[in-house]
Structure 1
Amino acid sequence: MNTPFAAVLLAGGRSTRMKQDKALLHWHGQDLWQAQLHKLQSIGAARVLLSCRSDQPLYVSPSEGVEMVHDPAGVDEGPLGAISRCLERVQMPLLVLAVDMPWMTAAFLREHLVPHTEPVVGRFFRGPHGDETLAGLYVPAMLPLMQKALGEKHLSLQPIIEAAVHSGLAITHALGDEQMPFFRNANTPADLK
């Protein structure tokens, strides 16, 4: 039996390199944010959240059971702020997925990031450029590290994950060659071709 967990799609980025909102790009017949949200809805989360800016035209029907979490107006805390807000809200392990990782599969998330055993610790993968921070499992015990970093305006997630691993709050696994494609980002229109 899986431990209850929540899942959040991070869709609020500014998409400066893409020059258009990544969340609204078309991916296999639907907007990218919808495709990514469907992955999260299929993996058995007790709660599913959509984190975005209030000015984005993203809409979910109340019947879908998705909780909208808007970034505060005029505040740019990046993914760290969004993840912290969602983790505070759900108070349970939180599986995070970025909207711009279209090659990530529900099967990979279910097998590697959904918590299956107690005690639950954060789970992340380490690639050639460091920890993959935007497809991972964050746990409430990491909140003090995140809140401290926000208070000091240190918005990078890498040091938080490193500190969590050092404190026994998280573990990282090396990404195998066959797993690396799941973590590819779509940062430019050419990346999606």
Structure 2
Amino acid sequence: MNPPSFPFAAVLLAGGRSTRMKQDKALLHWHGQDLWQAQMHKLQSIGAERVLLSCRAEQPLFASDGVETVHDPEGEDKGPLAAITRCLEHVQMPLLVLAVDMPWMTAAFLREQLHKHTDPEKGWFFRGPHGDETLAGLYVPAMLPQMREALAHEDLKLQHVVEAAVHSGLAIAHPLADEQMSFFHNANTPGDLK
């Protein structure tokens, strides 16, 4: 399959504190490698012009050649909204986001969505029974003012940002089909990975 019709970047979000997992999710073993490496391989295979790794400076994650590392500022814990905002400011182009704790997401599914989406000015997300899936979707630079405003007001819920973007026409929310639900499952506890 050819690359999407517009240039985009991709980022793996791996800087979470993993409190429920009681160990760093990024370092869990998944099919013979660390989970973060498995997720990174997916992003590297979908035709992104730039690939980023977003993590904390103290995490022992060593990105391969061609992967840009964007560290969380020391002492800051403003969650994925701050990390995505930083990365989007860094690349200034459509940014595909994937959380490290979504091991069932496939490169084929992401590639398919990128091919279907032809408007680089609009983000896209999937809306499931619990609301918008914010940690596997396409963020665009036009969303940055809303993201910065949310950070300034300490409203760190990504769902609020995505809902506002959809409401203002900056993003599209696709209904999540039953057969797509499993891609968006999170691994929050060791039992989830079994």
TM-score after normalising by structure 2: 0.96
Query: What CA distance in whole angstroms lies between the structure 2 residues aligned with 1:114 and 1:32?
Result: 26
What is aligned with 2:13?
10
Matched, 1:57 2:60: yes
What do residues 134-191 of structure 1 show as CA deviations (whole Å, max 9, x unaligned)?
Answer: 0000000000000000001110011111111111100001101000000000000000
What is aligned with 1:44?
47
Structure 1 residue runs of 5 or longer lacking an equivalent are none
Query: What CA distance in whole angstroms lies between the structure 2 residues aligned with 1:137 and 1:29?
Result: 29
Query: What CA distance in whole angstroms lies between the structure 2 residues aligned with 1:113 and 1:119?
Result: 10
Shift of residue 60 of structure 1?
Answer: 1.9
Matched, 1:28 2:31: yes
Structure 2 residue runs of 5 or longer lacking an equivalent are none
Shift of residue 112 of structure 1?
Answer: 1.1
What is aligned with 2:146?
145
Q: Which segment is superposed worse, 39-48 or 113-122? A: 113-122
> Would you say how many aligned residue pairs link Structure 1 and Structure 2?
191
Query: What CA distance in whole angstroms lies between the structure 2 residues aligned with 1:124 and 1:116?
Result: 11
Percent identity of equivalent pairs: 79
TM-score after normalising by structure 1: 0.96
Query: What CA distance in whole angstroms lies between the structure 1 residues aligned with 2:115 and 2:106?
Result: 13
Shift of residue 2 of structure 1?
Answer: 1.7
Query: What CA distance in whole angstroms lies between the structure 1 residues aligned with 2:34 and 2:40?
Result: 10
